[in-house]
């Protein structure tokens, strides 16, 4: 998200005028590790996270109120040390944690503007902070959900962002040649975010037993990577990709991509492959999954190997991967974003 948006802004402002800051890292080494551990622990307990998301973030419950002020102050101090805050004309948040930071940055300078870009299917209350000049979303559903909290908010809808490399993938034949996958055989790519969530190793083995070639990415999950490496040694139909640095090639080689709900789904659609959405992220992940299966030919799967195999084989029977992606190039997407930002008056004419 940050990479794609920064590229679009750099095209008109110049690369030296655009800087990306990771709000979680700016909390400091101890707090950032603690925040990640808490989040990992929460999503590993779906009932706990669903309760927090739907009863508090979505419904503005008791636990959604407050709690941001200290984090915002700490992030602002870190930005001050980097001498960023004194020259910000546009603060642009692409994650809910950054939304109050964007508002606080804009409030510091006359004429500065704050933008929030939410790519989730629906926006919860933490996205809809006060002091934001423009909310950008990728669907009418997200627009309506955001106006639940900010009825008079300025909201623009743009196509979902994907990185430039997904607009010009290799042919399936060439991608398979490079990865050692026979042309004409069914091939499935398993990927589930940077953390490698869900039963990917078990699913890889089950898919291989069912006769499919499997490309399996582990993200940063070293335990999963070791397990996939062992599975690949035991079965030549399995290719362990580790931390996949060329996702467009892996997707181009596949017939079906199995992924958790999120930005990867948009990349799959841009490449033009069938999609199975794995229900491994509770809360907002479930909403993203529902939006996928309602608006595209995607098939949902439970986080069990038998469900993954059944969903893949159902998906392979689909006549197509769905409608062509609405954007044909990175430059065309940049134009959508810049048009949405134009009324703010912070970009060159």
What the block records as the tokens of 35 is: 């925040």
Total domain count, the chain: 2
Residue 349 domain-assigned (yes or no): no
What average pLDDT does the structure give for the chain? 94
Q: Tell me, yes or no, whether 7 and 133 share the same domain.
A: yes
pLDDT of 67 reads: 66
Give the pLDDT score at 196: 87
Q: Are residues 100 and 63 in the same domain?
A: yes
The structure tokens 């629906």 sit at: 122
Summarize pLDDT for 151-199 with one digit per residue, the tens: 999 999 999 999 999 999 999 999 999 999 999 999 999 998 888 889 9
Question: Which run of H or E residues covers position 277?
Answer: strand 274-278
Cα(264)–Cα(292) distance, integer angstroms: 12
**Interatomic CA distance for residues 161 and 166, integer angstroms:** 10
pLDDT band at 5 (very low <50, low <70, confident <90, very high): very high
Residues 246 and 304 in one domain: yes
d(CA 243, CA 238): 15
291 in the same domain as 307: yes
Claim to verify: residue 178 and residue 29 sit in the same structural domain: no
pTM: 0.93
245 in the same domain as 139: no
Q: Identify whether 323 is part of a domain.
A: no
Q: 333: domain range?
A: 2-162+328-344
CA contacts within 13 A on the Cβ side of 271: 30
Nearest in space to 137 (alpha carbons), one of 153, 299, 267, 58:
153
Q: Does 221 share its domain with 144?
A: no
Whole-number Å distance between alpha carbons of 213 and 266 = 23
Mean pLDDT of 234-259: 96
Question: How far apart (Å, rounded) are the C-alpha atoms in residues 38 and 43?
Answer: 9
Same domain, 99 and 187: no
- CATH number of the domain residue 183 falls in: 3.40.50.2000
| Cβ contacts of 151 within 8 Å, gap of 6 or more | none
Do 273 and 256 share a structural domain?
A: yes
Burial class (CB in 10 A: 0-12, 13-18, 19+), 240: buried
In the chain, DSSP finds a helix count (H) and a strand count (E) of 15, 10
Query: 97, 76, 77: which is closest to 24 by C-alpha?
Result: 97
């Amino acid at each position: 998200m940050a990479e794609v948006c920064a590229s679009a802004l750099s095209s008109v402002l110049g690369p030296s005028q655009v800087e990306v800051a990771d709000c979680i890292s700016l909390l400091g080494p101890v707090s950032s590790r603690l925040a990640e551990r808490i989040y990992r622990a929460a999503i590993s307990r779906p009932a706990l996270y669903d309760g927090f998301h739907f009863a508090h973030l979505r419904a503005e419950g008791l636990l959604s109120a407050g709690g941001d002020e200290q984090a915002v102050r700490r992030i602002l101090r870190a930005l001050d040390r980097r001498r960023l805050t004194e020259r910000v004309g546009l603060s642009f948040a692409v994650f809910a944690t950054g939304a109050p930071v964007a508002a606080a940055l804009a409030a510091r300078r006359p004429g500065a503007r704050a933008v929030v870009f939410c790519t989730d299917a629906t926006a919860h209350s933490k996205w809809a902070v006060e002091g934001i000049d423009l909310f950008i979303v990728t669907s009418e559903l997200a627009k309506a959900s955001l106006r639940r909290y900010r009825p008079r908010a300025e909201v623009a809808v743009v196509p979902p962002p994907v990185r430039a490399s997904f607009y010009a993938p290799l042919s399936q034949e060439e991608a398979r040649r490079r990865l050692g996958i026979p042309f004409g055989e069914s091939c499935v790519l398993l990927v589930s975010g940077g953390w490698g969530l869900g039963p990917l190793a078990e699913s890889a083995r089950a898919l291989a037993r069912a006769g499919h070639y499997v490309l399996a990415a582990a993200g940063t999950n070293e335990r999963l990577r070791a397990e996939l490496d062992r599975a690949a040694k035991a079965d030549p139909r399995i290719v362990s990709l580790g931390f996949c640095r060329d996702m467009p090639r892996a997707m181009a080689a596949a017939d079906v991509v199995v992924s958790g709900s999120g930005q990867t789904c948009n990349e799959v659609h841009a490449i033009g492959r069938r999609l199975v959405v794995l229900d491994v992220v509770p809360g907002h992940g479930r909403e993203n999954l529902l939006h996928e299966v309602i608006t595209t030919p995607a098939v949902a799967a439970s986080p069990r190997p038998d469900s993954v195999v059944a969903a893949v084989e159902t998906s392979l029977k689909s006549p197509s991967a769905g409608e062509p992606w609405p954007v044909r190039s990175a430059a065309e997407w940049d134009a959508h974003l810049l048009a949405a930002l134009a009324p703010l008056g912070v970009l060159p004419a």
